[in-house]
Structure 1
């Protein structure tokens, strides 16, 4: 296994068992200045029909009151989870490092990646775990529902290297085996975005399969500050070049 990069952090809230069940799923939420959306995100996790859930929120030095909002919510909802934690980076590290911190911290053997402005439907974790159990894949992902400023169905499809060659079509909201995350070295910072694309390319290069669940299980919020609207679009050419240099088999 490849050790993920270790970042300094403080534990702001922690409750629950030091050990989690073998079938537990860690929901890893990245938080940066999303005080407005984080409660809706957390509520969607608490509403999961899957019972053995470990919840980890990593605050990447937000400048709003998001961490305080999370701590208050956790105090009221800690009993729902087998383990629940709020941790805060000692300095702003970016999205890739925030996800890696959560994955490192997770005790569960499965990790679901979730950003603080998004949501999941109650059946999401159960259906994705079922897909992993049935196929033995390294990851499982679903079709997306875009909501907020844009309302439409996403572009999810079955896992094929040939489809990735021309662009990413798999969102970060996916259930991934923790040992797979370690095997590929976790997430890598890509200036301007597309850490998700890079992560999936690393799985492909190691021959790790993922399974597509053609159901609406995850909700991607489109708003003025979402990645769909900001860094990636403004720096598209530079981002494409960075990703292609890392994965020369891509064809843009």
Structure 2
């Protein structure tokens, strides 16, 4: 296989890392366990103060995969997840881009099934259903199902796209659109910016991702989530106050049902 053909089928997996010592070794192992093996794992350490970097370095050295599968980038200043993902995008060499947060879990067939679905549907932006897990990532049985298609209008009232489920084809989607704005809820803002161009995101209702969620996360973050989505309506979608309120009600209902 030529270098060009390798890059044309490679998935660049971008993982922002900040004090992720408890998870990062498992994160690397779950990527290594993927049934689709043409990937590069781009780990962007966002100025961790724990031993995340040491664990990453050790895991790479001990890996059965070649060193070419791994890229470790060290940032001197903590700039948060959006900036770290953008740094990873700068370094990505693959045609396909996938995001993975260090505390989330991919099941082994995640990439293979998503790539098959993307090719079958001729899609440039794909996302998947997922299952909530507890603080130890043990599945709770609560699955968030996703629609087959999601356009900009319907995305405004349902934040159903979860970052660690996404996959992008940069042959058919301008890579510049995937870069995240440095604001709160940068991931949702990014999906909206992409969909605003007329792209239709395609949903694969196959829960091969586990979203780790501590038991108290919903109650402690409700006000923060409302404030963030309101900011997106006003600053990203540029909706007026009335329209923002209408969309906020729909969003709150769906978000509550999704998490209960």
Q: Secondary structure at the match of 2:149?
A: coil
Deviates more, 1:74-83 or 1:50-59: 74-83
Q: 1:187 aligns with which of 180, 185, 200?
A: 180
Q: Please give the root-mean-square deviation of Cα atoms over the aligned residues, in Å.
A: 2.5
Q: 1:242 aligns with which of 231, 246, 249?
A: 231
Contact map agreement 1:190 1:239 (CA 8 A) in 2: no
Instruction: Provide structure 1 residue ranges, at least 5 long, that are not aligned to the other structure.
Output: 1-16
User: Which structure shows the bigger proportion of residues in helix conformation?
Assistant: 2
Deviates more, 1:236-245 or 1:17-26: 17-26
CA shift digits 1:12-56 (9 cap, x unpaired)? xxxxx8994310111111111111011111111100010211111
Q: Distance in 2 between matches of 1:222 and 1:206?
A: 32
Q: Distance in 2 between matches of 1:210 and 1:233?
A: 26
TM-score, normalization by structure 2: 0.80
Q: Across the two proteins, how many residue pairs are aligned to each other?
A: 232
Contact map agreement 1:37 1:117 (CA 8 A) in 2: yes
The structure whose Rg is larger is: 2
Cα distance change of structure 1 residues 68 and 224 upon mapping to structure 2, 3 Å threshold: farther
Contact map agreement 1:52 1:82 (CA 8 A) in 2: no
1:223: Cα distance to partner? 2.7
TM-score, normalization by structure 1: 0.83
Q: Distance in 1 between matches of 2:54 and 2:219?
A: 27
Cα distance change of structure 1 residues 185 and 84 upon mapping to structure 2, 3 Å threshold: closer
2:257: which partner in 1? none
User: Which structure shows the bigger proportion of residues in strand conformation?
Assistant: 1
Cα distance change of structure 1 residues 124 and 237 upon mapping to structure 2, 3 Å threshold: closer
Contact map agreement 2:150 2:202 (CA 8 A) in 1: no
Q: Determine if the alignment matches structure 1 residue 154 to structure 2 residue 144.
A: yes
Q: Which runs of 4+ in 1 moved over 6 A?
A: none
CA shift digits 1:113-142 (9 cap, x unpaired)? 000111101111011111111122121111
1:60: Cα distance to partner? 0.5
Cα distance change of structure 1 residues 19 and 136 upon mapping to structure 2, 3 Å threshold: closer
Q: 2:206 aligns with which of 187, 205, 215?
A: 215
